């Protein structure tokens, strides 16, 4: 038996809250870079307060002279706890810029060396299902077959199901197949981390997520899916010839089916997400004049604890010492 240990996720939520509070000022203003830059600056400053030695393995990619948390960047204030870090300061920059729902700030952390490193892979095909359906689906099976199996596992009819799909040209056939099977669809322009979480959250009307999205976003989502008990089956799905060539040169087998256990190899994982724009997943930042309200999801893998945190932030108190510009 162990005494209660410190829950790093409760520190990480301060990181996502800071990013959300800073970036939400740019809601609907049409400037993706400004909103993303504000979140990055706030997130980087907040990481410095954590007693971790973190390495970003899921970030924006190496970019010179850009305000990004890039792959390989060291974060945290230092200490014996070495961790892999997955970040997306604004998951859904276009959603934020154009005032659309479900933009969120996300962080996942796991022991060093346990997160899948995407390398030259930018896209992967994903099938995300709740725990009740994780043993009945096959990512290589026809869409109608999977939907029939999912419906049976959830005790529903196929036409009861809601499928989250990104509204992209590459999904034209997928959308047609889902409609032919009789299931309903939620089309979203962006935000497949949020989509994956919707699919495994029993409070949400989404039952399954299907389609091709970002590989880094897949690893980030896997941190949460591992904790919540759902499953994500995925295959690397290069969209351009350059990506195919780079994967071939690296010796990566794109035919391999990956699961959450392949993407995050430890149960000692932590996850935090804070809503930026309001949506069906997390409420967005609400500014109050004297401060703001935030809504967050916080999880710890070792205990399986899932917390939904509503916070009120006071400018008078925060701005006496904070280096982050919130107001």
CA dist 165 to 176, 207, 232, Å?
12, 11, 14
> 115 forms bridges with which residues in the sheet?
264
The pLDDT score that the predictor gives to residue 230 is 93
**Is 300 annotated as ligand-binding?**
no
**Is 191 annotated as ligand-binding?**
yes
Same domain? 104 vs 222: no
Of residues 155 and 327, the one with the higher pLDDT is: 155
Same domain? 54 vs 169: no
Same domain? 149 vs 243: yes
**Is 73 annotated as ligand-binding?**
no
Separation of alpha carbons 42 and 106, rounded Å: 13
Q: What is the three-class DSSP state of 174?
A: helix
Separation of alpha carbons 220 and 233, rounded Å: 14
Q: Which of 263, 280, 302 is the last residue of a domain?
A: 263
Of residues 5 and 12, the one with the higher pLDDT is: 12
Q: What's the rounded mean pLDDT across residues 6-28?
A: 94
Same domain? 145 vs 259: yes
Condensed to tens digits (0 to 9), the pLDDT of residues 164-186 reads: 999 999 999 999 999 999 999 99
Residue pair 51/39 in contact by the 8 Å Cβ criterion: no
Separation of alpha carbons 71 and 86, rounded Å: 9
Number of neighbours of residue 69 by Cβ within 10 angstroms: 23
Same domain? 217 vs 90: no
Q: State yes or no: pLDDT of 325 exceeds 80.
A: no
Same domain? 60 vs 25: yes
Separation of alpha carbons 265 and 31, rounded Å: 37
Separation of alpha carbons 21 and 42, rounded Å: 9
What rounded mean pLDDT belongs to the chain? 92
Read off the pLDDT band of 205 (50, 70, 90): very high
Q: Which of 216, 231, 263 is the last residue of a domain?
A: 263
Residue pair 122/236 in contact by the 8 Å Cβ criterion: no
Q: What percent of the chain has pLDDT over 90?
A: 84
Q: Which residues touch 241 (CB under 8 Å, ≥6 apart)?
A: none
Q: What's the rounded mean pLDDT across residues 78-96?
A: 94
Same domain? 131 vs 165: yes
Domain around 314? 8-115+268-319
The CATH number linked to 279 is 3.30.540.10
Q: Which of 248, 263, 278 is the last residue of a domain?
A: 263
Q: What is the three-class DSSP state of 112?
A: coil
Residue pair 318/13 in contact by the 8 Å Cβ criterion: no
The CATH number linked to 187 is 3.40.190.90
Same domain? 200 vs 111: no
CA dist 198 to 98, 112, 211, 285, Å?
22, 28, 14, 19
The pLDDT score that the predictor gives to residue 1 is 54
Residue pair 164/208 in contact by the 8 Å Cβ criterion: yes
Separation of alpha carbons 91 and 189, rounded Å: 12
Separation of alpha carbons 232 and 248, rounded Å: 24
**How many structural domains is the chain composed of?**
2
DSSP line for 59-74:
SS---TT-SS--TT-E
Q: What percent of the chain has pLDDT over 70?
A: 96
Q: What is the three-class DSSP state of 37?
A: helix
**Is 217 annotated as ligand-binding?**
yes
**Is 170 annotated as ligand-binding?**
yes
Q: State yes or no: pLDDT of 132 exceeds 90.
A: yes
- Report which secondary-structure segment, H or E, holds 146: helix 143-154
The pLDDT score that the predictor gives to residue 63 is 46
**Is 168 annotated as ligand-binding?**
yes
Residue 79 lies in a domain: yes
Residue 325 lies in a domain: no
The pLDDT score that the predictor gives to residue 61 is 63
Q: State yes or no: pLDDT of 4 exceeds 60.
A: no
**Is 192 annotated as ligand-binding?**
yes
**Is 88 annotated as ligand-binding?**
yes
Condensed to tens digits (0 to 9), the pLDDT of residues 259-299 reads: 999 999 999 999 999 999 988 889 999 999 999 999 999 99
The pLDDT score that the predictor gives to residue 64 is 45
Of residues 323 and 106, the one with the higher pLDDT is: 106
CA dist 212 to 16, 82, 172, 205, 243, Å?
26, 32, 12, 21, 14
The pLDDT score that the predictor gives to residue 125 is 98
Of residues 220 and 68, the one with the higher pLDDT is: 220
**Is 36 annotated as ligand-binding?**
yes
Separation of alpha carbons 284 and 315, rounded Å: 18
Q: How many helices (H) and strands (E) does the chain have?
A: 10, 13
Q: What's the rounded mean pLDDT across residues 100-127?
A: 95
Residue 93 lies in a domain: yes
**Is 113 annotated as ligand-binding?**
no
Read off the pLDDT band of 69 (50, 70, 90): confident
Same domain? 310 vs 247: no
**Is 243 annotated as ligand-binding?**
no
**Is 91 annotated as ligand-binding?**
yes
**Is 2 annotated as ligand-binding?**
no
Residue 142 lies in a domain: yes
């Amino acid at each position: 038996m162990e005494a209660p240990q410190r829950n790093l996720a409760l520190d990480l939520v301060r990181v996502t809250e800071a990013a959300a509070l800073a970036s939400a000022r740019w809601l609907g203003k049409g400037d993706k870079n400004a909103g993303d830059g504000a979140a990055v600056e706030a997130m980087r400053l907040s990481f410095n307060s954590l007693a971790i030695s973190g390495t970003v393995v899921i970030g924006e990619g190496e970019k010179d002279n850009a305000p990004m948390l890039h792959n390989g960047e060291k974060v945290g204030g230092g200490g014996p706890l070495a961790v892999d870090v997955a970040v997306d300061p604004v998951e859904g920059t276009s959603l934020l810029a154009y005032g659309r729902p479900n933009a969120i700030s996300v962080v996942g952390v796991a022991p060093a060396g346990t997160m899948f490193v995407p390398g030259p892979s930018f896209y992967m095909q994903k099938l995300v299902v709740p725990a009740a359906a994780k043993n009945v689906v096959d990512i290589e099976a026809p869409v109608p077959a999977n939907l029939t199996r999912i419906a049976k596992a959830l005790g529903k009819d196929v036409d009861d199901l809601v499928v989250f799909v990104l509204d992209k040209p590459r999904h034209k056939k997928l959308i047609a197949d889902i409609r032919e099977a009789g299931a309903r669809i939620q089309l979203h322009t962006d935000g497949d981390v949020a989509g994956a979480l919707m699919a495994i959250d029993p409070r949400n009307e989404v039952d399954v997520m299907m389609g091709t999205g970002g590989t880094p976003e897949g690893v980030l989502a896997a941190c949460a899916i591992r904790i919540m008990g759902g499953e994500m089956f995925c295959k690397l799905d290069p969209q351009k010839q350059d990506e195919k060539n780079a994967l071939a040169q690296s010796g990566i087998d794109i035919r391999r089916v990956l699961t959450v256990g392949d993407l995050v190899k430890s149960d000692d994982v932590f996850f935090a997400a804070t809503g930026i724009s309001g949506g069906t997943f997390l409420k967005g930042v609400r500014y109050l004049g004297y401060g703001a309200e935030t809504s967050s999801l916080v999880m710890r893998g070792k205990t399986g604890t899932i917390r939904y945190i509503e916070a009120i932030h006071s400018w008078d108190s925060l701005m006496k010492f904070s280096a982050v510009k919130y107001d």
